[in-house]
Amino acid sequence: MNTTVDAMIPDLAAAITYLFTAYQKPLDDVILLVYEHQLSDVPFPLVQAAVLEAPKRLAKPFVPSIREVRDLCDVLRCERLAASPFEPCALCRDSHPGWDVTTDPWGVQRLVRCECWHAYRHLLRTAGLLPVVTRVLPEGDA
Ligand SMILES: [Zn+2]
């Protein structure tokens, strides 16, 4: 978590405002509502990163469409996920990486997820890096 970015872009409305300001385009309440609604299911850390990256990665002078912002969020998610590989702990590394062996009340040995795996998944979830079911935007009448 980057506190400078969080202070500059604390919420979704601020992120969209930042995007339009970066492209030096006016933003009215209706457009803000549409962008907010259509980006509301995308993890906020990715939207935050996308509005910062958009001017560098997407051509000006046109403000990126909602679909372009969503696509950039997915690119950033994949890049960050690739840069965050799972590293098993010392307890499970040499036997079953990410798994721990437990014995249930009937004496049967079972594999359960190791704490390091749960910590890794929590980290990914917090950073918005787990895949989300994407909302399908309506196509035109064509
Ligand atoms: Zn482990």
Each residue's pLDDT tens digit, 121-140: 999 999 989 876 656 667 76
Write down the pLDDT at residue 136.
66
Q: Separation of 110 CA from ligand 1 center, angstroms?
A: 15
Total residues found in the chain within this entry:
142
100 Cα to the center of ligand 1, angstroms: 7
If one compares 58 and 38, the residue with the highest pLDDT of the two is 38
131: CA distance to ligand 1 center in Å?
23
Cα of 109 vs centre of ligand 1, distance in Å, is 17
What tokens does 99 get?
A: 């798994």
Ligand 1: distance of its center to the CA of 94 in Å? 10
pLDDT at 1: 56
Going by C-alpha positions, the residue among 74, 68, 63, 79 that lies closest to residue 20 is 63
Q: Are 116 and 98 in contact (CB under 8 A)?
A: yes
**CA-based R_g, the chain, Å:** 20
Other CB atoms within a 10 A radius of the CB of residue 18 amount to: 19
pLDDT (0 to 100) of residue 133: 61
User: Residue 142 has what pLDDT?
Assistant: 45
Between 24 and 3, the higher pLDDT residue? 24
Average pLDDT over residues 20-42: 95
* Predicted pLDDT at 9: 94
How far does the centroid of ligand 1 lie from the alpha carbon of residue 105, in Å?
A: 22
Question: Which of 57, 62, 80, 70 lies closest to 24, judged by CA?
Answer: 62
Q: What is the pLDDT of residue 135?
A: 62
**Cα-to-centroid distance, 29 and ligand 1 (Å):** 49
If one compares 6 and 14, the residue with the highest pLDDT of the two is 14
State in Å, rounded, how far the first CA of the chain is from the last one.
43
